[in-house]
Amino acid sequence: MNTFKVLEIKESVFADNNRQADLLRESLKKEKLFLLNLMSSPGAGKTTTLTRTIAALKDKLRIGVMEADIDSDVDAKTIASTGVKVIQLHTGGMCHLDADMTKQGLEGLGAEGLDLAILENVGNLVCPAEFDTGAIKNAMILSVPEGDDKPLKYPLMFEVCDVLLVNKIDAMAMFDFDMEACVARARKINPNIKVMPISAKTGEGMDAWTDWLYNAVTGFQKENG
C-alpha cells in the first residue's frame, strides 16, 4: 500500500499568517502606530466613510491610508485629494490582504511618524475576514441596501470586527432594513461588537465614529508610550 503525507494547506497557511500578524502588531506597539483594518462589501461606502473620517481627524492625528484593490487606483486618487499620505496596493487577483502584504504596504507607505494607518481592504465579506492583517482594530461597514440578514450569512466578518458601522441610514425609508434585528444578530455572534448607525453621505452619526477612533488611537499610544 502506498503511503503519503496529507498536508492541511488551509490550516498551515492561516497558522503562518497568524504568527506574522502577531509580529506585526508587536512592531506597531513599539512604533505607537495604530493600524485600522476597514472592511465591507463593494459599494457599502468605505471610501466615502474614510474621506469623512479623515476630514474630522486630520488636524488631530497624522494619518496614512493604504487602498487595497485587485486593480485600479480610483480610490487612492480620491483619498489623495484629502491631503493625507496614501498608497495603492494591488493584490494581483487575491481577494484579501494578509499580514505580510500589510507589512509591505506600511513600508511602501512610509508610516514612520504617523499616528493612524488605515487599510481599506478589498471589498467582500468573506476572504478579508479570514486573514489577520496585524491590525490593532478591525472595523466593518454594512450598508442598509445590503439587508439586515448579513450577520447570518457572513458570521466570521462580524465575529472578527470590533466596530460595525451601519451606513446609508439616510436611505432607510427606501429599504426593508430592520436595525434592531441586525444589531441583535451581530451581537449574538460577537457580544462585544460596537454598532454605530451612520450616513457617510449626510454626516449623520459620524461624530460618534470619529470620536471612538480618536480615543482608540490616543489610548493605544498612551498604553504603549
Q: Please, which pLDDT band fits residue 19 given cuts at 50, 70 and 90?
A: very high
Average pLDDT, the chain: 93
Shortest CA distance to 63 belongs to which of 89, 81, 86?
Answer: 86
Q: Quick one: pLDDT at residue 4?
A: 58
Q: Quick one: pLDDT at residue 9?
A: 52
Distances 165 to 37, 147, 196, 206, 207 between C-alpha atoms, Å: 13, 13, 5, 9, 12
pTM for the model stands at 0.93
What are phi and psi for residue 37, nearest 5 degrees?
-100, 115
Q: Please, which pLDDT band fits residue 75 given cuts at 50, 70 and 90?
A: confident
For the chain, helix, strand, coil in percent to 5 are 45, 20, 35
% pLDDT > 70, the chain: 94
Q: Quick one: pLDDT at residue 128?
A: 94
If you search the block for the grid coordinates 487575491, which residue do you land on? 94
Q: pLDDT of 155-183, one tens digit each?
A: 999 999 999 999 999 999 999 999 999 99
